[in-house]
Chain A
Amino acid sequence: MIRYLIKNNLKIMYRSPVNILLYVLCPIVISAVLIGAFSAMMESYEGAKEFTVGYRTEQNSAFEQSVGAIVEAGKQNGITFAEYQSGEPEELIKEHKLGAFVEFGSETYTIYDTQDTKTESGTLQYMLTAMVNASVSGDYSKVQFKTETPFFVPAVNSTDYYGIIYIVYFGWCALVCAAGLFSNERKHRIDERLLVSNLSVPQQYLARFIPLVAVVSGGIGIASVVGGLIMGVHWGNIALSAAIVLLSVMAATAMEMMIYELTHSMLASIIISFGIVWVLGYIGGSFETYMFSTHPEWLKQLDPIYHENRALVELSTMGHSDYVASAILLLSGLLTVFSLLNLAVGSIRRKAQ
């Protein structure tokens, strides 16, 4: 019954030039501008691929037997280890232009860095963590990190970062795509005709939700392909990345349709929706990169855009990400909750007519 309604709603949205502009051209143009603007800053990441680390090992350290293996693993990964028996770590870093300094204690190790060598120390820590994890059943079983917040910065360049992040961000601005349809329905009281036909609340919801998701996903899908071809944006695991982006478009659509259902004003809904998405994007790395942002970690962990951005960027740079599961879980949760709220508010409105 709603097949034709979905099809025609799809046509209405598809025929709007604003939607083509917003979901195809805008992500490409803004990504291109930011890629250019931040390419120099992001290059410092890539410079972190090869650097020197100073180290010192205490007597009877649990790491004593493994230092040789660590130095060898570092060499294979572009990290040169130089031993310093004496001297203050901070001064040694400055004097010898070290990326970081690590002291292997009895059962722990301590990494020293400076404001300028956060990337190198992060990379070192990642490597040491990998070493410890790999030998967890062996000599390293008692080793604990002294650093409280293990930190890994994937070596991402500005092309991949902004090329991905702005596809995500525009996907979160889904409501604009429906502005023409919803406004026309309201202005010409088309929803009254739907009521006369006895269209149910879930049918009415799906008849708007499905085409809205399809047009936004289609638009940013084209933008992604064009961005990939023109700017060389690299997505890593394309199928998994596409699934995460689609899920986020669905969650954003459900949330923003819910806001419209409550306000029944397109202008108010767009202002509220964009306000929410801007804050989520601000915390989640849409403007300044999440690697360099100073927002508290707990706040970022609450933000679905942070989980999504991080999952997609890590999929691009490393081919895998621990954030994939949390991103899918959060986005699915939002989709379910807001869809149910949409249906509940729609039903209450019908009863209150």
Chain B
Amino acid sequence: MNENNDIILRTVDLTKKYDNRAVVDSLNIEIKKGEIFGLLGPNGAGKSTTMNMICNIVKPDFGTIEFMGEDFRKNRKKLSRHLGYIPQHLAIHGSLKAWENVELFTSLYGIKGDELAKRIDESLAYVGLSERRNDYAKKFSGGMKRRLNIACAIGHHPDLLIFDEPTVGIDPQSRNFILEKIKESNKNGATVIYTSHYMEEVEAICTRIAIMDNGRIIAIGTSEELKKLVVDDTEKITLEEVFLTLTGKKLRDQ
């Protein structure tokens, strides 16, 4: 279906309406293999709905999602194991131990036995929780829970990792650790889609950034390219100023 082997994910006219209002409006984006793609937008811009459609949580009203060259919705069973989703909320069980949480979510992709045990060790080591593997998740700090949240999504070695605001409400050390791990995953071959309200984070790790508003992409490019849309001298402007210039300063209520 996809003629370009460099594209891992493509949406074509992706649309979702709620109460006759298009939350995502004919969205066309292409994510290249090996990039860290940042998706920015004010509240209600349609970022989460877009992520949810890509992840099979919400069904689109119109349009297609091509993943690894195939129609994702038609080949969901085969392709879902190549996708890892790290939600903004802490989707873990507090009454399970760290390793049991990773076991539960990794096993959903058909991994079992010794291989599963190996992946659990690997995932916990990756997020620095090996020492705490036998502790209940409810006893973890906010930063540790965030890291466990990530460990639960990487055990099946996905090719595309979707991070939905993974650094909300955590200390700078944990945030720095998570950002380093995202870059490490990318170096190891994973493509990353990353959403955040922290502009400096996006600027620091993303190779390409899209700004979304009212369900559409209003600007896309590297950080430098986006800045040049507003001023010629990119030294004089921050990504946040670009964002506010393009999306306006009016408060957004969801």
B52 (CB) vs chain A CBs: closest residue:
A192
Q: How far is the CB of B148 from chain A (nearest CB, A)?
A: 12
Residues A198 and B95 in contact, CB atoms below 8 Å apart? no
B109 (CB) vs chain A CBs: closest residue:
A197
Query: Is B57's CB within 8 Å of the partner chain A?
Result: yes
Residues B93 and A190 in contact, CB atoms below 8 Å apart? yes
Q: Which residues of A contact B55 (CB under 8 A)?
A: 192, 195-196
Residues A353 and B96 in contact, CB atoms below 8 Å apart? no
Query: Is A15's CB within 8 Å of the partner chain B?
Result: yes
Partner of B108, one of A188, A194, A353: A194
Partner of A8, one of B91, B93, B110: B93
Residues B91 and A1 in contact, CB atoms below 8 Å apart? no
Query: Is A146's CB within 8 Å of the partner chain B?
Result: no
Residues B105 and A197 in contact, CB atoms below 8 Å apart? yes
Would you call the interface of chain B mostly helix, strand, loop, or mixed? Answer: loop
Residues B105 and A193 in contact, CB atoms below 8 Å apart? yes
A4 (CB) vs chain B CBs: closest residue:
B107
- The contact size tier of chain A is 20 to 34
Query: Is A180's CB within 8 Å of the partner chain B?
Result: yes
Q: Which residues of B contact A198 (CB under 8 A)?
A: 56, 76-77, 80
- The contact size tier of chain B is 20 to 34
B162 (CB) vs chain A CBs: closest residue:
A196
**Bound CA span A184–B59, Å:** 24
Q: Which residues of B contact A96 (CB under 8 A)?
A: none
Partner of B104, one of A4, A16, A180, A196: A4
Q: How far is the CB of A213 from chain B (nearest CB, A)?
A: 19
Q: How far is the CB of A266 from chain B (nearest CB, A)?
A: 16
Query: Is B69's CB within 8 Å of the partner chain A?
Result: no
Q: Which residues of A contact B91 (CB under 8 A)?
A: 188-190, 192-193
Residues of B within 8 A of A (CB): 52, 55-59, 76-77, 80, 83, 85, 87, 89-96, 100, 103-105, 107-110, 112, 116, 152-153
Residues of A within 8 A of B (CB): 1, 3-5, 8, 11-12, 15-16, 180, 184, 188-190, 192-199, 351, 353
